[in-house]
Amino acid sequence: MPLENVLERDEASVPPPSLPVCHIIKGWAVEGPGTVYGSGPGRFEAPEFRLTDLIWSRLEPCPASDVPVAEIIDFLHETGRAIGRDDKGYLAQALDHLTVTASLGRGLLEKLFGELPRHFDAQAIRGTVEAELGGTDVLDGWREVGLAGGTTGRIRACPPRMVHVLAGNAPVVASLTVIRSAVTKGVSLLKLPSNDLFTAPAILRIMAELSPDHPVVKSFSAVYWRGGDEKVESALFRAQYFDKLVAWGGDAAIRGSIRYVAPGFELVSFDPKNSISMIGREAFASPESLAEATAAAAADATYNNQEACSSARVQYVEGNREEADRFCDALWPELGIEREMNTATGAPLSEKLRDEISALRYLEPEYKVWGEFDGRGIVIRSDKPVDFYPEGRVVNVVAVDNLKDALRWVNVSTQTVGIHPPQRKRELREPLAQAGVQIVQTLGNGNNHAIGIPHDGLFPLHRFVRWVGDKD
């Protein structure tokens, strides 16, 4: 065999270098050799850790329990400004690594990372505390309340001890977790997801650079272990160490978390959700109204390149097949337009999804397909939702005689419904709420996360804290 062929074979057999994962243990960064996971370009190496280092003693109060919320919010605001500067390059390094392990692509990740400082805005955080808890007083002390019979009582939102099983579909999961955990003054162990091992540690390292001994800094740990590892989870997921298990993710992650729920150890679940759009026949009143509706529908469908729970995957259009086809004609080119929180093209579709879509091309007129497998988007028109999961900028347009006919396909897994025109919300929001929907909004507002609106049917701060009462 020629020498050059031997050299090529040897080089090909050398595995790619492992991406280094940084663990955070009670505010301190831990790097170095550890366990290697995976193969190919996405393989990574996570440092070893001791389980005893991941718990905070219940014999001592949480580090930030006596810090006023106003001071914590100011510290978070400064953290946001430091994230924007990224003086040490922690976020830049996280972005480089994340482009290897995530499916979002560098262009979208840059947009999402650019949004992180805004999440830490002091005014926004104060507004959230006010909306969800009625003010900071119940976090800093005892709020007096009137009780039946003319007596008086007091309530206290006590700092929680939490394990967070994070999802890696968007960096906002890490930033929201850090902010919510900090303002509730508890301690938090973040279980890093394999598709985003880098955002949360980068945020926590930037926070530690501002003040390494700050009580909020000491309130966080972030480490990786393989999901479902009983040696780790059966030891940690216990009421003697933590009050709550906050789980994000898909069906497997949530089911894996449920088995550890026990008296004194509560599950707070941000479980799998899908979102839809409902477009009334008013969209066909004029070419201008159709253009407005399809642009808004495309914005909701491609938000976060359709990786977010709030990204619309099925869009119900009030009209017959011919009118639905007119809608699809106008919608498809809109999917390939770059907007504030999406790129012009997305990740390649899986072979299975391509096969499903290709088969539908032979089933006209029951189905009709617009677009190619070039990342700019696919539109499928049908009389009922397709029986596979639309993703990767694939939108299923379903023709219905009346928007209320779509209620048969709505349930508790339906998170957000974008409605057009806005005046149709009033007639639809109550039946949608009864069917299980969490958010009703005007079509095109998929990127508008309003303060005071529930997240997955709950107010997270209200669920995170431990409520204690004092009655006379």
Question: For the segment 29-84, what is each residue's pLDDT rounded down to a tens digit?
Answer: 999 889 999 888 889 999 999 999 999 999 999 999 999 999 999 999 999 999 99
DSSP of 169-228: S-THHHHHHHHHHHHTT-EEEEE--TT-SSHHHHHHHHHHHH-TT-TTGGGEEEE---TT
Q: Please, where are the H alpha helices in 304-413?
A: 321-335, 351-360
CATH superfamily of 274-442: Aldehyde Dehydrogenase; Chain A, domain 2 (3.40.309.10)
Q: What is the pLDDT of residue 234?
A: 93
Which residue carries 């939702």 as its tokens? Answer: 385
In one letter, which amino acid is 179?
I
Exposure class string for 31-40: b at 16+ Cβ within 10 A, else e:
eeebeebeee
- Domain 19-270: CATH class, spelled out: alpha beta
Q: What is the mean pLDDT of each run of 10 residues along the chain (472 residues)?
A: 52 71 97 89 92 95 97 98 97 94 85 94 96 96 90 95 92 95 98 95 98 98 94 94 90 82 90 91 97 97 88 96 97 94 88 95 94 95 95 95 97 94 96 94 81 85 95 84
Query: Do 23 and 47 form a contact (C-beta atoms < 8 A)?
Result: yes
- Its pTM stands at 0.90
Q: What is the pLDDT of residue 14?
A: 59
Map out the domains of the chain as residue ranges.
19-270, 274-442
